[in-house]
């Protein structure tokens, strides 16, 4: 069983909610990424999403765009991200998803990129700009490699398309809880319960809700409606603030633990 599937099966058995965390790989550098990953594992993170730096991150707001820029400036490349995943794997079996744009896969070659990911210890891919209608070959290659192909559902997704998307997905469904790009918000959407119920009518896959969750109160509120919550910009902002400090890993780990505790307490 894939690590993502295994983790969500365990959470289900234990009656626990999952905690998914996004950071930009190579921000501020790849050794920090490795150390942060291990600290997050200890803090109670269930799935780590690593953003592969890209020059045109269309789905991302300013916080994550700047993280991608810092990653590129630190010399982070897709092969180096995979080397870092392999290094994390020496000390952790926490599921890892790459948050990536299709151009990166296309440049390497779809089959080769997926094989490289599997060899390094990646468990799934979330390809932001690859719609299910155009992903037949991608899905079959992912299945052969034992990786989960994770898809997004948005508040504006019609119900017939929700049905199509979730039938093609594996691992979990990432529900984008608001329109627009990534970023911290002062309050969560009031339609999350309604939309997760719509999604759940078409799939037994876990639903992870993200985009905008930035504090323990919001995390706890959203976790009532989903199998997992996703926090990204809030921790990326912490990394931006403390990236040059020797206290970075400690501070980020403490921030994550407060959020994890809120989610696990649901």
- Nearest 5 degrees, angle CA 102-CA 126-CA 25? 85
User: Which residue from 49, 34, 59 is spatially nearest to 4, judged by alpha carbons?
Assistant: 49
Burial class (CB in 10 A: 0-12, 13-18, 19+), 212: buried
Residue boundaries of the structural domains of the chain: 3-264
Element containing residue 24 per DSSP (H, E): strand 18-24
Give 159's Cβ-side CA count (13 Å radius): 8
Q: What is the pLDDT along the chain (266 residues), one digit of tens a residue?
A: 799 999 999 999 999 999 999 999 999 999 999 999 999 999 999 999 999 999 988 878 888 899 999 999 999 999 999 999 999 999 999 999 999 999 999 999 999 999 999 999 999 999 999 999 898 799 999 999 999 999 999 999 999 999 999 999 999 999 997 544 444 444 555 788 899 999 999 999 999 998 778 888 888 888 899 999 999 889 999 999 999 999 999 999 999 999 999 898 76
The catalytic residues are 49, 60
User: Which residue from 49, 43, 73 is spatially nearest to 240, judged by alpha carbons?
Assistant: 73
Alpha helices, DSSP H, located in 44-77: 62-73
Q: For the domain made up of 3-264, give the CATH fold.
A: TIM Barrel (3.20.20)
């Amino acid at each position: 069983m894939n690590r993502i599937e295994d983790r969500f099966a365990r959470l289900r058995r234990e009656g626990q909610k999952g905690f998914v965390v996004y950071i930009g790989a190579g921000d501020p550098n790849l050794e920090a990424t490795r150390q942060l990953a291990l600290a997050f594992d200890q803090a109670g993170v269930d799935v780590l999403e690593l953003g592969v730096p890209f020059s045109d991150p269309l789905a991302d707001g300013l916080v994550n765009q700047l993280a991608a820029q810092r990653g590129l400036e630190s010399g982070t490349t897709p092969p180096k991200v995979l080397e870092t995943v392999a290094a994390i794997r020496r000390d952790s079996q926490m599921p890892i998803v790459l948050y990536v744009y299709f151009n990166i896969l296309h440049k390497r070659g779809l089959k080769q990129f997926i094989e490289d990911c599997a060899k390094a210890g990646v468990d799934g891919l979330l390809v932001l700009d690859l719609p299910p209608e155009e992903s037949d070959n991608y899905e079959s290659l992912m299945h052969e490699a034992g990786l989960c192909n994770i898809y997004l559902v948005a508040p504006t997704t019609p119900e017939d398309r929700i049905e199509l998307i979730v039938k093609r997905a594996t691992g979990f469904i990432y529900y984008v809880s608001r329109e627009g790009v990534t970023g911290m918000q002062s309050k969560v959407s009031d339609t999350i319960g309604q939309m997760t119920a719509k999604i759940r009518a078409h799939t037994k896959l876990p639903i992870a809700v993200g985009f905008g969750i930035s504090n323990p109160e919001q995390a706890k509120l959203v976790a009532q409606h989903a199998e997992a919550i996703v926090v990204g910009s809030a921790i990326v902002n912490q990394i931006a603030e403390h990236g040059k400090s020797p206290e970075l890993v400690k501070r980020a780990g403490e921030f994550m633990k407060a959020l994890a505790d809120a989610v696990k307490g649901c």
